[in-house]
Every structure is written in C-alpha cells, then in structure tokens.
Structure 1
Amino acid sequence: MGNFMVEITGVVLAGGKSSRMRENKAFLDVDGQTLLERVVTGLRAVFPEVIIVGDPDAYRGLADRVVADIFPGVGPLAGIHAGLTFASHNLVFVAACDLPFVNGGLASFIAARAEGFDAAVPCVGGRLQPLFAAYRKTCLGPVTRCLEAGRYRVASFLGEVRVRYLTEADFAGWPHLRRVFFNVNTPADVKRLQQKIFAAVPVVGVVGPAKAGKTRLIEGVAAALAAAGYRAAVLKHTDHRLADTPGKDTDRFIRAGAVKTALAGPGGLFYFQTAGEPELGAVLALLEDGVDIILVEGYKEAPLPQIKVTENGEKTASDERTVAVVSADPRVYEGVQVFSPDDAEGVASFIIEHFLRKEESRY
C-alpha cells in the first residue's frame, strides 16, 4: 500500500447541477487537468479506494467506481449518503469536485483525526467545511433519517453523531490552509482562478470614477458590518507610485540595492518594491486571515463581484460582475439592486445577505 492510509475510501462528490456555471464544472480545465481529475488525483495519492458520486455515464473510468445518488436531486448530503453506502471501508473522506487545491496530505491528516469519533470536520475562519471532511459509516443512519425527513443541509446530521471539529490550531504548520477550501461555482470564479486571484473569504469590489463617493461608502459599509458582528478588511488601490520616507532604514536598504523591503511590527506592515506592484492575489492572501470579508476599492478590471458607484446619478455601464449600483437616480437601472449614495447600511445588508449569510447557510 506504500503511503496509503488503509481502510479509508476517498469519495468525490460530482452530482451537482452546476447551475451558476452553466456547464459541468467537474470538467473545467485548470492548468491542464480538469477539476475532477485534480480532486481524484489528490485523494488517490493517500487512499486505497476512490469513488465518484455522480452520473455513471459521464464519469465512467475516472475513478475505481462511479455510483449514483440514492436520493437524487437534493444536494451534497445525498452524495455523502451514497459515498457511505457504497464505500468498501468504514471510514470515508469526502471532497467536493470543485476544490482546485485539494491536498491529499491534508485529507489524510483530517481522516486520522476521526479516531474515536464518527466524523472529523474542519471549521476554519469560523466556517464549517463539511465537504472536505471524514465520516464513518456510523453516520449513515443519521444521514438517511435527515434525507427521509427532507432536511437537506449538509450539517443537519452532525448534532446526532460524535464530531471532532478541527480549527486553525489543529492545522498549525499547514501552509495555505484556507486555499484548500476555495471552491469554483461561477464563471467569475474561473477567471479569478486563472488569474490567481482568490481568497478564502468573500471579496467584493467597489468601483467608480474619482470623487464619486467610494471611500465614504466603504467607511459606512465597514461600520455597519462591524456593528453586525462581521470583520472586514479593506484594500485600496492607487495608480500613484508609493514611495518610502527618504532616510528611513527601509529606504536606505532599497537605495543600497534591495529590490523589496518590509517593516513589520505592532500595528501592521509596510512593504515596498522597486518595480511593478504586488499582485492582487498576493495582497488578498495577506488580508484574508482573521476577517469575514474583504472590500476592495479600485482594481476595476479585476474579475470580482462589483458594486458600482456613479457620479451625480449618471448611468454607468454594467456587466456580469455588477451585483449592485449606488446612484442618486435609481430609475435608470433595471435588473440590478440600486442604493442611494447615503444608504451605506442598505449596502451592508445587501453584502451580508448575498455574500456572508449565503456562506454561513451554504451547508
């Protein structure tokens, strides 16, 4: 068996409808491999059996076995049920097919933590991750009862079994932990993946012309989010070159030939580089820890969901990235949520409903 963990079955869930993607996301290409292939390969590296739960005709030959849902059309809980039913081993490790950064070593680490429990489920950044988790066949009865009762949320059965919840403290030393839970649901997610712009928390852009009121809006939104108990990070982009203070140690290092410098200490981090600018994805990775959402002012060409702020109520062009508009004249927009410039609390409520509560209720 080599480095395999014996008596564990890897289960890949590929039964979703991909309605937001408008095509089967399991077959989306990522660096020369489909999403499904990436997940299967990651699990095959550590588990002796890997099965796919999905359409047997579409996925035939891509794993040791392909099985269909016994409770079709009701979501990933049915996939877990089928995986537990058909797995050869008592312990299964479940992974959704839309996770491009599946790490087999991390999967086996989580599975090992199920010793003495019915399930081992990560809870990272305050978010449950039941679609990258380990379950024993002792969960099958509770899962079946939930499905028969029409309780289709993935977490519905967890209160009936012994669960070991794994937090950041349990994963100390694992690099890029949150990246493993980045999932692909929309064409915009694919573009972000291709451009390496991804984060483990929702990212929402606020764009518009200069002096349109973007900063004032973000101030109000950040305050409203904080009042509602959410932790926001804010990233502002500028086209003006950032320069260090002449004579400071970090400036002297650059003048001496260093290409990058950083000053870290209580309260934060200052970073400078001699050429270009930091990649958006790298900055998001720096900000994502310890927050619930990242608001981005600027980066108007980035493939992010955008709230567009207009100037003097003038109509602005919208595209598939536009999720809401802030305008003094809501009559000129159809098919998109419009807020007045002084309704920061309304914008915050919209963000909570569409990006934060949606994440919280996903499972």
Structure 2
Amino acid sequence: MSELYHDVTGIVLAGGKSRRMGRDKALLPFGGRPLASRSVEACRALFARTLLVGGARAELRALGVPVIADDCPGSPLGGLITALRHAGTPWIFALACDLPWPEPRLMARLVELRIGYDVVVPRSAAGYEPLCAVYGSGCLAPLERLLAAGTLRLFDLYPLVRTRVVPLAELAELVTPGRTFVNINTPEEFAMISSQEERKTVQAVSFVAKSGTGKTTLLEQVIAELKARGYRVGAIKHDAHRFDIDHPGKDSYRFTAAGADTMLISSPEKLALVKRHAAAPPIEELLATYFGDVDIVLTEGFKMSGLPKIEVHRRDRSATLLCRGEENDPTLLAVASDEPLALDVPVLDLNEPRRVADFVEARFLR
C-alpha cells in the first residue's frame, strides 16, 4: 500500500514499573534519545495514529505522540485493555517501549495478516512475542474477563479468540537474530545492548531500483562526490548470482579450488578477501565486520534489508516504484528521479548527483 494504515493504531506500551531496571525504561538514554522513541518512530512509519499508553509522565509527552494514562496499571494486559478502549480503530499494533531495534517491515508483514483474526502474534525461538503483535477490538471483552479473574498473562488470551500464530520460518528474512525481539529489563542488559549500539557506528544507505534504471552510474557519481568532500566511503554490491573474482591459472584460484574457506590477497595498495559461506550473511554483519573504518557505506541492492533506502527512478524504465505502490517500504528515505513525483518522501533530481550527495551528507554525516 502507498499510504499509512488507517484501520490500525500503533500502541507503544510504557506502563511497566521497571522494577528490575531501577529506573524508567522508556526514558533510558539510548543512541542519544529516549529508548521509547525507537518504538514510537517505528509505529509512526506505519500507522496514521500512534498512542503511548502507560502514564502521564511529562517526559513521555516530549516524544511527540498522545499519551494515555493506563486504565488498569500494573501489567501489559491492562495496557492492551486501555489501548483497545482508546484506539478508535478495529485493530492496534502493540509494541513494547523497551525494544531497541524494532523492525517496521516485520510489523507491516504482521499487519497484512490481520484480516479474519483478532490476534496476529509472531513466535520466535524464545516463544510468543506478545508485545510485537496485532490485536483486534474483539480482544477487549476477553481481556477484561481475564483481568477480572486475576489472570495477567497475555498468552491466556490466545485460545479465547481467533489467533494467527506466525512462526519464525515465515518471517526469517525480516528478523535479525539477537536484535529484532530483544528487550531491556536489567541494568546489565542495558549496558550490553548499549555497547552493541555504540559498536554499530557505520552509517549505511542502500540504493535500490529496477534493473536498467542507472543506479550503478548514480552510485559511482555520489561516491566520487563524497570522496571529494573528504569522507571515507565504503560500497557493497548485492549479487543474487554466483560470482568469481579469482580466475583459473592464478595462485588465488588454486587455493580456493583446493578448498580454502578463507583466502586473502594482500599487496602494498589493497587487499581482497574470498570467504566461503553456506548462506549470505546479514547486511548488518557485513557492515560491522568489514566497514568499521569508513564514514558511510553505500550499497547497491539489498531491497529486502532494513537499511534506509534511496530508490532510483527513471521515467522511460518504469511508471511505478519498488518502494511505493503495491508495497509501502517504511525504510524509504527519498527517490532520485528524472521526473517530478508526488510522494511522501523527498524527490531528488536524478541528473544532479551532487544534490543526491548533499542529501546523503545531511542525513547521515552531519
């Protein structure tokens, strides 16, 4: 879809007591902002309306969305009841405030499955993920009965309503192990996850397009412009096919042909690494492993990743976009086009690569 969801309200649950943490989890400083802002931004990328449920703390109002005091404080179940009472839409998407890395594309996939169900809940290796799930208005009465009976576990709701459990196998390309469903409960967990975030300092943006649009040419020009401005630039090309950078007759080819799992060629000017793997590693792993010494990484492709994206559009190639139309990719930042377009993101002049570099610089390097 090309617009935000209007029949689903994004709900960020921030009513917990944070007893194990010892201070308000929603307001923990994470990446220079309150932790809850991550969940708020993920919801605002998808839903026409977002609410924050869980108390009227003045600090929460600074996150820029309406704050609803919890009707039934003390448990996520009570938070859902409050959300369903105030949402005004047939469904809500419930998201915990303590998720450091919420994934909008995963959220959108779950929302797409909502028709005919009261609950759409993912199930990871750790079990149900009830605070990254869709709940319909049909859940309100059963939740109220559970609360009246003193039952506070969300899991007890699922047998009572039409529930669609989504196994991890259906979401594999949208889930990053050790990140997507991670939440923060203790000071030790916060310290560990903050350390991971600090190490993830590489800025990256992916240029995507239909084949034959000219994204490689644009990338080449933007790289040259950013280099001229003094930035250290990395580049990654996504290749869906097999490729070889060493050839028969070369020593490097003989090493890999003999079965070497990792082969590196080094010279005074550069090095090249050939590493075998059974499956393509996540883009986040590539960035963290190989690009710690650059200011920005520009990738070509990786449309299915969670990276922020600039789509390249050429009128003569196609009348439609990859990231707007049948699909609404919330990670789209801008479109570089050779024609004017009415979009919800900036439209850059494809024939002015310097302006595209200006956008990348302003968004990622200042």
Q: Which residue of 2 aligns with 1:72?
A: 73
In structure 2, distance between residues paired with 1:112 and 1:251: 41
Q: Which amino acid aligns with 1:15?
A: G
Q: Which residue of 2 aligns with 1:23?
A: 23
Q: Which amino acid aligns with 1:62?
A: L
Matches within 5 A, 1:283-298: none
Structure-2 change in CA distance of 1:142 and 1:178 (3 Å): farther
In structure 2, distance between residues paired with 1:47 and 1:101: 18
Matches within 5 A, 1:111-260: 111-176=111-176, 179-196=179-196, 249-250=259-260, 253-254=263-264, 260=273
Cα shift at 1:125: 1.3
Q: Which residue of 2 aligns with 1:100?
A: 100
Q: Which residue of 2 aligns with 1:55?
A: 55
Q: Which residue of 1 aligns with 2:44?
A: 44
In structure 2, distance between residues paired with 1:248 and 1:256: 19
After superposition, the CA RMSD in angstroms is 3.1
TM-score, normalization: structure 2? 0.55
In structure 2, distance between residues paired with 1:175 and 1:249: 32
SS at match of 2:79: helix
Structure-2 change in CA distance of 1:264 and 1:39 (3 Å): closer
SS at match of 1:48: strand
Q: Which amino acid aligns with 1:20?
A: R
In structure 2, distance between residues paired with 1:62 and 1:88: 21
Deviation sequence 1:106-156 (CA, Å, 0-9, x none): 212211111111110000115110000000010001110000000001211
Aligned length, in residue pairs: 223
TM-score, normalization: structure 1? 0.56
In structure 2, distance between residues paired with 1:194 and 1:99: 12
Structure 2 stretches lacking a partner, 5+ long? 199-254, 279-283, 290-366
Q: Which amino acid aligns with 2:196?
A: K
Q: Which amino acid aligns with 1:119?
A: V
- Larger deviation, residues 88-97 vs 176-185: 176-185
Structure-2 change in CA distance of 1:45 and 1:125 (3 Å): same
In structure 1, distance between residues paired with 2:41 and 2:3: 14
Q: Which residue of 2 aligns with 1:322?
A: none
Q: Is the 8 A contact 2:265 2:272 kept in 1?
A: no
- Larger deviation, residues 146-155 vs 253-262: 253-262
Cα shift at 1:282: 6.1
In structure 1, distance between residues paired with 2:56 and 2:131: 21
Q: Is the 8 A contact 1:46 1:105 kept in 2?
A: no
Cα shift at 1:181: 0.6
Structure-2 change in CA distance of 1:61 and 1:32 (3 Å): closer
Structure-2 change in CA distance of 1:174 and 1:251 (3 Å): closer
- Larger deviation, residues 34-43 vs 133-142: 34-43
Q: Is the 8 A contact 2:4 2:48 kept in 1?
A: yes
Deviation sequence 1:81-124 (CA, Å, 0-9, x none): 11111102111000000001112222122111111111100001
Q: Which amino acid aligns with 2:131?
A: L
In structure 1, distance between residues paired with 2:258 and 2:8: 57
Q: Which amino acid aligns with 2:40?
A: V
Deviation sequence 1:20-71 (CA, Å, 0-9, x none): 1111111111112211111101100110111111111332353432112222
Structure-2 change in CA distance of 1:107 and 1:252 (3 Å): closer
Deviation sequence 1:167-207 (CA, Å, 0-9, x none): 12221422516522100111111211122189xxxxxxxxx
In structure 2, distance between residues paired with 1:65 and 1:90: 19
Q: Which amino acid aligns with 1:67?
A: I
Cα shift at 1:78: 0.6
Matches within 5 A, 1:280-359: none
Q: Which residue of 2 aligns with 1:6?
A: 6
Q: Which amino acid aligns with 1:165?
A: V
SS at match of 2:260: helix
